[in-house]
Structure 1
Amino acid sequence: MTESLPNPKDKLLDAALPHVPFDGWAEATFTAAIEDAGIDAAVARALCPRGAVDLAVAYHKRGDTLMLDWLKTADLTEMKFRDRITAALRKRLELVEDRELVRRGTTLFALPQHAPDGAKLIWGTADAIWTALGDTSDDVNWYTKRATLSGVYSATVLYWLGDNSADQVATWAFLDRRINDVMQIEKLKAQVRESPTLSRLMAGPNWLLGQIKAPSRFSRSDYPGSWTPPRP
């Protein structure tokens, strides 16, 4: 039985990683990666039309894949749901072998021309976590869950990049506080739903939000969601 050949894009990414802390996700890194990986330049450009930017995207997605692999084998059944989310986010950061790779990526995706890529990647991480943990929402909650978790993840990454505490204990405490803040919001939403007076006041907005549907698993690559018009 023959072994499968290594993915050339993975090979290119692996070759780029040692250069990123010094040159960033830049053209110099991409050029060095082509040479170190021994890949034809034309093939490399076909795989990554935007050069190191595409490698930075691939690096982030690789981290998501590793996190999902861990979630498939981790036993989280005894954890509260909030703790499962916390564990997933923490593992996502613990899997990073060099914080400078993320720091350089944060700088890259802060640039206006690459900001949409950065936002899409963060959303993708949040979506991966919710989906892996069994989220079945198909209405506006599909969006609010991912938007909220995207905010938590983004804030935690920035805190983590500047954290010099032993074993990043300050980061994990920060993450726990952010998750607690989210839980307070969820409690407030539940109180609104359970209050007859507030429910009547929110009847119109709730109806409007109820028309928003999550994208199906077949259409997510095409558009972020859909609007269900009221029936005549």
Structure 2
Amino acid sequence: MNGHVKNMHFHQFMESAAALLAFLLLLAVGSTRVVAASRNPQCGNALQQTLKMTRLTQKEAVNLIKTYKTAQGERSELFCKVSVNNIPDPNISGLEPSERIASIYTHLQSFSPHFKRVYEQQTDLQPPTSLLLNELAVVSTHSRSLALLVKNFYHNYFPNVPLPEPAGGPTTLPPPQNVFQQKIYGCGVLKAFRELLSNISRDLRTLKNKVCRRKILTNTSF
């Protein structure tokens, strides 16, 4: 066998070996991704738990508004049609998943003092056994639980990105109000909170694939 033929066979052998190595690497990467996916159910489970709490609180918020209107007596529909200032914006902001999850958390935090103010106002207007006071307390508690779930998820999956405080610092509460203003304010807070929960529910469904898939792919890097 002359040198030319040997070289030709050698190049063919090297090309075949390179193709085989590339194929084996693809298999290795593919199997690594499958293993990573099977070992990383926590991400999807954590978001699913958060979404479940969001939907529960959202359902309660819808019922709360109905109870609120009933408790306000006559002209309750009129109260709830008036626009209200000095309440948190229910729209979630941010381009990256980490930014949007952080926005969800800060928005939930922003509503907390407003819920407290509405509860205090309604305590003066409703009897102690009022269904409204009970529902306000339950929704407020679930809102804080949801904020804690979001916070824990953020720290687990974005540990290197500090969680920001609500934009603009502490939420400004309204000055002293008369009864008519209190009823308007309370309905405005509850409606905005209901809208926030709707936005959170939609965002979590979208973010589930983005965040958890990104986590899996990060685990497969060499």
TM over 0.5: no
Compare the two structures and name the one with the higher helix fraction.
2
TM-score after normalising by structure 1: 0.22
Relative contact order, CA 8 A, sep 6+: which one is greater? 2
